[in-house]
């Protein structure tokens, strides 16, 4: 297995984690009676992430774990993709 495949695999897994986390964030907002739109989730995800961060910060005085999971997985997918094309 070469490095390109390793980094692209890591990017794919990170992307899947990001999508699942985005759905979990919208579900958490729905439980708090905030309307979310699953059809335009890709366009509105950053709005929902900000709302989730603000609400969890207000409720518990800490930012929710899903916020960090999404941010880390998106950044890891980006870093892995760039690194894969550099080593290719």
Q: Are 56 and 64 in contact (CB under 8 A)?
A: yes
| Residue 74: per-residue pLDDT | 97
pTM across the whole model: 0.90
Q: What pLDDT, in 10s, does the model give residues 25-40? A: 999 999 999 999 989 9
> Exposed, middle or buried, 6 (CB in 10 Å: 0-12/13-18/19+)?
middle
**Both tokens assigned to 43:** 């366009």
**Statement: residue 83 has pLDDT above 90:** yes
**Statement: residue 13 has pLDDT above 80:** yes
As for how many domains the chain has, the answer is 1
Higher pLDDT, residue 62 or 38: 62
The label of the residue with tokens 């297995």 reads: 1
**Statement: residue 62 has pLDDT above 90:** yes
Average pLDDT value for the chain: 95
Domain limits at 19?
A: 3-87
**Both tokens assigned to 53:** 């961060």
């Amino acid at each position: 297995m070469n490095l390109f495949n390793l980094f692209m695999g890591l990017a794919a897994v990170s992307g899947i984690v990001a999508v699942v986390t985005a759905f979990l964030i919208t579900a958490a907002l729905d439980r708090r009676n905030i309307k979310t739109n699953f059809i335009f989730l890709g366009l509105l995800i950053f709005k929902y992430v900000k709302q989730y961060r603000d609400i969890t910060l207000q409720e518990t005085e800490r930012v929710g774990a899903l916020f960090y999971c999404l941010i880390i997985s998106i950044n890891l997918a980006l870093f892995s993709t760039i690194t894969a094309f550099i080593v290719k």
